[in-house]
Amino acid sequence: MDPSQVQSAEFAQFLAQEEQRAKVGEMVIKITNVCWDKCITGTPGSKFSSSESSCLSNCARRYMDMSLLIVKRVQNMQ
Amino acid sequence: MDSFSSSPSSGSNSQFQSEQLKNQLKAQLAQAYIEQFMETISTKCFDKCITKPGSSMSGSESSCISRCVDRYIEATGIITSTLFSSPH
């Protein structure tokens, strides 16, 4: 492989990594958005109560579980 | 002494440009992410704290917003560590 081919392959890998990173970031933003609404019902205080923090982490896990369920369900329909 | 244009190993010049491009892309992606994050915080905290917009921002409104920003960033941290550290 000549140097320019090596560079293209390397660059393609770099782009794939950055795309993956961007998707992960999107997911965190989305889930925080949704779980904030679910879990932080009153006016924000100077710290989270323990029920608020456990709600947030439960929410994130359940959201991921749900996403998987949805994919499986939709796949079964096809 | 223009070492770049007269260099026989033009590979090293394009390598440098490739690194520059990668760094530029990373910076732009990071910037876009931050902007999106800030926009989300603005929406959420406006909803929580500015219930009846008045002719100026009250002290309680601005302290609510400060707390809200802190909490939202904390919430993001909780969710990030929930999803990316402990296996369940």
Whole-angstrom distance, CA of residue A41 vs CA of residue A43: 7
Is the ipTM higher than 0.85? The answer is yes
Whole-angstrom distance, CA of residue B26 vs CA of residue A75: 35
What residue type is assigned to position A5 of the chain?
Q
The domain made up of A3-77 has a fold known as Helix Hairpins (1.10.287)
Q: Does B48 touch chain A (CB under 8 A)?
A: yes
The whole domain housing B49 covers 8-85
What local confidence, expressed as pLDDT, does residue B86 receive? 59
Determine whether the interchain pair B25/A44 forms a contact, defined as Cβ–Cβ distance below 8 Å. Answer: no
B49 chain-A contacts, CB cut-off 8 A: 43-44
Q: Is the pLDDT of residue B59 over 70?
A: yes
Specify the CATH number for the domain of residue B70.
1.10.287.810
Listed by start position, the domains of chain A span: 3-77
What local confidence, expressed as pLDDT, does residue B1 receive? 54
Residues of A with CB under 8 A from a CB of B: 3-4, 7, 10-11, 14-15, 18, 21-22, 25, 27-29, 31-33, 35-37, 39-40, 43-48, 53, 56-57, 59-61, 64
What pTM value is reported for the model?
0.84
What local confidence, expressed as pLDDT, does residue B11 receive? 66
